[in-house]
Amino acid sequence: MRLVLLGAPGSGKGTQADFLKTNFDCVHISTGDILRENLREKSELGLRAETFMNKGELVPDAIIIDMVKARLAEDDVAKGFLMDGFPRTIPQADAFDKMLSGMGLHLDAVLLIKVDDELLVRRLTNRRTCRACGKIVSLLDVDLVTEDAKNCPACGGELYQRKDDSESVIRNRLYVYREQTEPLTAWYEGKGLLRIVEVQDHYMPEDTFKGVKAALNL
Ligand code: AMP
Note the pLDDT of residue 182. 96
* 127 catalytic residue (yes or no): yes
Classified as helix, coil or strand, 20 is helix
Ligand 1 centroid to Cα of residue 122, in Å, is: 20
pLDDT recorded at residue 145: 54
Q: Is 149 left (phi over 0), alpha (psi -120 to 50) or beta?
A: left
Structural domains of the chain, count: 1
Domain-embedded: residue 10: yes
Report how far ligand 1's centroid is from the alpha carbon of 31 (Å).
Answer: 6
Segments in 56-204 forming alpha helices (H): 61-72, 90-102, 117-125, 167-176, 183-190
What domain range includes position 99? Answer: 2-26+79-215
Catalytic, 13? Answer yes
Does residue 85 belong to any structural domain of this protein?
yes
Residues forming beta bridges with residue 3, ordered by sequence position: 82, 109
| DSSP H or E run through 195 | strand 194-198
For the CA of 35, the nearest atom of ligand 1? 8
What is the pLDDT tens value at each position of the chain, 218 positions in all? 999 999 999 899 999 999 999 888 999 999 999 999 999 999 999 999 999 999 899 999 999 999 999 999 999 999 999 999 999 999 999 999 999 999 999 999 999 999 998 899 988 888 888 889 888 888 887 565 555 567 888 898 898 988 888 888 999 999 999 999 999 999 999 999 999 999 998 898 899 999 999 999 99
**Confidence (pLDDT) at 134:** 85
Asked if residue 165 belongs to a domain, the reply is yes
What is the CATH number for 12? Answer: 3.40.50.300
**Residue 74 domain-assigned?**
no
CA of 176 to the centre of ligand 1 (A): 11
Cβ–Cβ < 8 Å for 1, 194: no
Q: Could you tell me if residue 208 is inside a domain?
A: yes
Give the model's pLDDT for residue 137. Answer: 85
- Write down the pTM of the prediction: 0.88
Ligand 1 atom, smallest distance to 9 CA? 4
Contact 145/125 with Cβ under 8 angstroms? no
Catalytic site includes residue 128:
no
Catalytic option among 36, 123, 135, 173: 173
pLDDT at 163: 84
